[in-house]
């Protein structure tokens, strides 16, 4: 992963952590359910963006290198790995 992607992911995840703490406070303060749900959804969206950024970087670096590699087993392993990520994502 390149430095920019890593730095961006760390920044976003720290922000998400702050949002999660805010959601906990909202629940402790017995805030309106829909407001809590909206904050949870916003946090899920932020996490998805982090995941997308890391995946994009992975595809452009590790996967590209593996596909260009002469080692067929390494290419297959990498493709299986990506397929598994998408399979896991679909189990929401």
Report the distance separating Cα 40 and Cα 32, nearest Å.
Answer: 13
Mean pLDDT, the chain, rounded, equals 90
| 8 Å CB contact between 67 and 50 | no
Superfamily of domain 3-89: Metal-sensitive repressor, helix protomer (1.20.58.1000)
**Ordered per-residue pLDDT tens for the chain, 92 residues:** 889 999 999 999 999 999 999 999 999 999 999 999 999 999 999 999 999 999 999 988 888 888 887 788 888 888 888 888 888 776 54
Report the distance separating Cα 57 and Cα 54, nearest Å.
Answer: 5
Q: What pLDDT is attached to residue 38? A: 97
> pTM for the full model?
0.80
The pair of three-digit structure tokens given for residue 60, joined into one six-digit string = 């452009």
Diameter of the chain measured on Cα atoms:
59
What are the structural domain ranges in the chain? 3-89
Report the distance separating Cα 20 and Cα 85, nearest Å.
Answer: 24
Site of tokens 């890593």: 6
Q: At what angle do helices 33-58 and 3-28 cross, to 10 degrees?
A: 170
| 8 Å CB contact between 89 and 81 | no
């Amino acid at each position: 992963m390149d430095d920019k992607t890593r730095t961006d992911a760390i920044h976003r995840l720290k922000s998400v952590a702050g949002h999660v703490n805010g959601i906990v406070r909202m629940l402790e303060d017995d805030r309106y359910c829909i407001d809590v749900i909206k904050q949870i959804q916003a946090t899920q969206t932020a996490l998805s963006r982090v995941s997308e950024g890391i995946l994009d970087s992975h595809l452009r670096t590790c996967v590209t290198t593996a596909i260009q590699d002469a080692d067929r087993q390494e290419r297959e392993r990498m493709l299986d790995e990506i397929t598994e990520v998408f399979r896991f994502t679909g189990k929401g």
